[in-house]
């Protein structure tokens, strides 16, 4: 394979193209002469990421290894649409790329969405993979994650880009841990604007990539090569326990947590994440790296590690609005956090169930109504997911949870007796 010298200008230049049948693969390949004998590190990014997103990581890796930035159809900045392709098909395209470029062995770095195809490829072709690095495993069929992804697709199809962008930002960034992750309002606003301004092609690609995740039924085999799975400590999109569960299935799996980070760990905590990844791909010890911790994957996966506390409001009751039927329901909030709530119906109504898609919980102290989806119903108790639709309201909910939950609203004695 032909590698070029690295520069910022080269990173921003038009990518090279390789056609595999009808499918276009776009890539950039960089190396320093003294390192060309090493296995190349192939970067496979997630949603809303381009080659330029990895400049810092590329510069670090180039000190020891060649680098290949690869966008398969509809990935990254590759605008080719490919709704017919599955995640397994993407792994086949990756294999064809490696074969065409005559690469004997590679190191795969799969982030978020890119982790799935990297894992499938490494499982199917272990002889061609020297090491595997993964961050933010996206292929576990958690009910709440499926609901979030399906809801985002519906918003996209309806052209509700402000609500879609808000949902995406609140999925990727853990808003209950902003103090720890130190994600700035400016960063959130820039990410929101990037997503809200997606053009028609980018919207179609997001929809196709998300549908592929929803269609994926799970891994039927796991990598046997040396594998590192890393995750942000507060990743509420692909949970640390899910990442650990995947690592525990890998024959040579290691599991690491990046402190004070969420799903965007490699961007929020660049130095710890980069040090962790680079030392692993160089075959060095990854124990004791500042800003990271190693854990037994099996023990971590089985532990009870809640990412968010649950608050029990003293002020009661609240109003649940079903916009589809026009009904309102008086409910009690048993507990609530930024991600969801458990509510208790005061008057049973079997019409409230998992099929309701237009429910809004009215929180006056938080400045309005919040879209909720019922995940599970047990008699009069409803376990619900809160899906953010407005970024300003999301901040108001954060403020409510931190400052107003203990406040008491005046209620009538008759109503108090219903809540006893």
Per DSSP, what are the bridge partners of residue 256? 230, 294
354 lies in some domain? yes
The greatest distance separating any two alpha carbons of the chain, rounded to the nearest whole angstrom, comes to: 81
Looking at 241, 273, 302, which one is the last position of a domain? 302
- Cα separation, 95 vs 118, in Å, equals 10
pLDDT at 137: 87
340, 292: one domain: no
Q: Are 202 and 164 in contact (CB under 8 A)?
A: no
354, 230: one domain: no
- Cα separation, 322 vs 359, in Å, equals 5
Token pair 């119906």 is found at 345
Q: Are 241 and 257 in contact (CB under 8 A)?
A: no
List the Cα angle 369/193/176 in 5-degree steps. 50
Q: Are 96 and 73 in contact (CB under 8 A)?
A: no
**DSSP conformation class of 35:** G
Per DSSP, what are the bridge partners of residue 257? 231, 293
- Cα separation, 257 vs 298, in Å, equals 14
Domain that holds residue 341: 318-419
Token pair 């402190």 is found at 259
363, 293: one domain: no
- Cα separation, 39 vs 350, in Å, equals 59
pLDDT at 406: 55
102 lies in some domain? yes
289, 335: one domain: no
132, 262: one domain: yes
Token pair 């169930």 is found at 353
Structural element, H or E, at residue 232: strand 226-232
369 lies in some domain? yes
CATH number at 338 reads 2.40.10.220
Number of domains within the chain: 2
- Cα separation, 168 vs 191, in Å, equals 9
118 lies in some domain? yes
Looking at 302, 333, 362, which one is the last position of a domain? 302
Looking at 273, 302, 331, which one is the last position of a domain? 302
394, 325: one domain: yes
403, 263: one domain: no
pLDDT averaged per 10 residues in sequence order, the chain, 420 residues? 93 95 97 95 88 92 97 95 96 97 97 93 97 88 91 95 96 94 95 96 95 91 97 94 95 97 94 97 96 95 76 89 94 94 91 91 92 94 95 93 65 33
278, 322: one domain: no
What value does the CA radius of gyration of the chain take, rounded to a whole number of Å?
23
309 lies in some domain? no
86 lies in some domain? yes
> Are β-strands 40-44 and 381-387 bridged in parallel, bridged antiparallel, or unpaired?
unpaired
């Amino acid at each position: 394979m032909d590698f070029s010298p690295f520069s910022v200008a080269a990173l921003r230049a038009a990518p090279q193209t390789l056609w595999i049948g009808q499918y276009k693969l776009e890539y950039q390949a960089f190396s320093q002469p003294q390192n060309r004998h090493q296995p190349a590190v192939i970067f496979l990014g997630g949603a809303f990421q381009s080659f330029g997103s990895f400049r810092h990581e590329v510069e670090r890796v180039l000190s020891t290894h060649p680098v290949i930035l690869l966008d398969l159809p509809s990935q990254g900045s590759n605008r080719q649409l490919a709704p017919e392709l599955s995640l397994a098909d993407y792994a086949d395209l990756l294999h064809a790329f490696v074969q065409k470029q005559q690469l004997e062995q590679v190191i795969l770095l799969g982030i978020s969405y890119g982790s799935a195809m990297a894992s499938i490829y490494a499982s199917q072709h272990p002889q061609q993979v020297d090491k595997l690095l993964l961050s933010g495993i996206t292929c576990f069929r958690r009910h709440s994650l499926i609901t979030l992804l399906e809801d985002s697709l519906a918003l996209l199809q309806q052209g509700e880009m402000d609500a879609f962008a808000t949902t995406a930002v609140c999925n990727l960034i853990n808003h209950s841990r902003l103090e720890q992750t130190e994600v700035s309002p400016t960063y959130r606003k820039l990410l929101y604007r990037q997503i809200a301004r997606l053009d028609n092609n980018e919207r179609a690609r997001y929809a196709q990539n998300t549908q592929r995740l929803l269609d994926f039924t799970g891994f039927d085999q796991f990598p046997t090569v040396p594998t590192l799975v890393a995750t942000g400590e507060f990743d509420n999109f692909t949970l640390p326990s899910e990442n650990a569960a995947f690592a525990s299935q890998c024959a040579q799996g290691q599991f690491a947590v990046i402190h004070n980070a969420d799903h965007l760990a490699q961007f929020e905590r660049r130095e710890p994440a980069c040090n962790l990844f680079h030392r692993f791909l160089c075959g060095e010890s990854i124990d004791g790296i500042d800003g990271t911790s190693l854990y037994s994957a099996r023990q971590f996966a089985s532990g009870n590690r809640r990412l968010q506390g649950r608050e029990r409001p003293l002020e009661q009751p609240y109003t649940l609005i079903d916009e589809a039927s026009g009904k309102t329901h008086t409910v009690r909030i048993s507990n609530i956090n930024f991600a969801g709530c458990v509510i208790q119906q005061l008057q049973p109504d079997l019409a409230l169930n998992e099929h309701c898609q237009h429910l809004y919980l009215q929180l006056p102290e938080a400045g309005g109504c919040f879209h909720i989806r019922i995940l599970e119903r047990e008699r009069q108790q409803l376990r619900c997911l809160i899906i953010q639709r407005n970024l300003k309201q999301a901040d108001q909910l954060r403020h409510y949870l931190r400052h107003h939950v203990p406040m008491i609203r005046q209620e009538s004695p008759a109503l108090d007796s219903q809540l006893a």
